[in-house]
Amino acid sequence: MSVAGETAVREIGPGRWAGQIHDRWDVAGNANGGYLMAIGARAMAADAQHPDPVTVTAHYVSPGRPGPVEIETSCLKGGKRFSTVRGTMTSEGRPLLALLGTYGDLTARKTLERIEGHPPEVADVDACIELAPTESFPPPFVGKIELRLDPRDALVSGRPAEGVPTVRGWFRLRDGEPIDTLALLIAVDAFPPTAFSMQLPVAWTPTLELTAHLRRRPAPGWLRCQFSTRFVSGGFLEEDGEVWDSTGALVAQSRQLALIPRG
């Protein structure tokens, strides 16, 4: 099935939407955070008067397992250019995610541009490592998408990271499925955690919160992605992401706050 199909929702009442966490989107049994966000954000988009998420934040309160979910949405303010919408995803009454998003129209248009920096330097797609799903690592959900990892990064090379721990690579959907702004929410949480590059003595770094800023609808083709972590501190770490499309345009920025589990 397509990613669009596996994130689909249908209206079951005013501001109430039914969705489904499909099988094999999991990481050690728990559904991937970007996938859950995409389902919730799709319900919110249906409630907004505007098609594209411009900024969406999700707080993860319980793990998601395969099965039906319900999303409640409410539009706080619908404006001419933007709408702000809340969402809550539950599974059998148990809250999984709290969401807050502002929606607009991200059709590419001429705007003032000033980019300090450049798209991340990622090895060519053919020179990158293809992740194929297994029962352990990489997790099953990588079978839903296509991921390629830069072999120079510590995660792949096994050599300790020098400087800022970084994971770079390429993302696209399978079978040429177009990547809309909702599927972009999957791209920002699809790569292995930067913590794995740092050889931190933890098995997992659960996401507390994920915010994505979307700048424009991506052009067709591979997305060039980079994730890095500068601060492991206070029991938390941030993971900052950038996603660029095949035309060299920045399409999304993301930041998540993840928890360092207590020993």
Which positions touch a copy of itself (CB under 8 A)? 54-55, 57, 59, 61-62, 76-77, 79, 82, 84, 86, 88, 95, 98-102, 106, 108-109, 111-117, 163-165, 198, 200-202, 208-209, 211, 213, 215-216, 229-236, 238, 249-250, 253, 255, 257, 260
Classify each residue of 249-262 as buried b or exposed e, where b means 16 or more C-beta atoms within 10 Å of its C-beta: bbbbbbbbebbbee
- CA–CA separation, 186 and 155 (whole Å): 20
CB of 156 to a copy of itself, least distance (A): 19
Location of structure tokens 């809309």 = 180
Of residues 32 and 256, the one with the C-beta less far from a copy of itself:
256
Q: Torsion angle of alpha carbons 108, 109, 111, 114, nearest 10°?
A: 30
Q: How far is the CB of 21 from a copy of itself (least distance, A)?
A: 18
- Minimum distance between the CB of residue 185 and a copy of itself, rounded to whole angstroms? 15
CB 33 → a copy of itself: shortest distance, Å? 14
What stretch of H or E contains 154?
A: helix 154-157
- Closer residue to a copy of itself (CB): 100 or 125: 100
The smaller minimum CB distance to a copy of itself, of residues 76 and 127, is found at 76
Q: How far is the CB of 245 from a copy of itself (least distance, A)?
A: 11
Distance separating alpha carbons of residues 222 and 125, to the nearest angstrom: 9
Q: Indicate the residue among 6 and 229 with the shorter CB distance to a copy of itself.
A: 229
Contact 214, 52 (CB under 8 A): yes
CB of 133 to a copy of itself, least distance (A): 30
Question: DSSP readout, 22-88?
Answer: -TT-EETTEE-HHHHHHHHHHHHHHHSSSSEEEEEEEEE-S---SEEEEEEEEEEEE-SS-EEEEEE
Smallest distance from a copy of itself to CB 137, Å: 21
Relative to beta strand 250-259, strand 94-104 is unpaired
- Comparing CB distances to a copy of itself, the nearer of 1 and 112 is 112
CA angle in degrees (0–180, nearest 5) for 115-121-127 = 150
Nearer Cβ to a copy of itself (95/178)? 95
Q: Give the count of beta carbons closer than 10 Å to the beta carbon of residue 61.
A: 14
Task: Determine how many CB atoms are found less than 10 A away from the CB of residue 66.
Answer: 15
Question: Nearer to a copy of itself by C-beta: 42 or 215?
Answer: 215
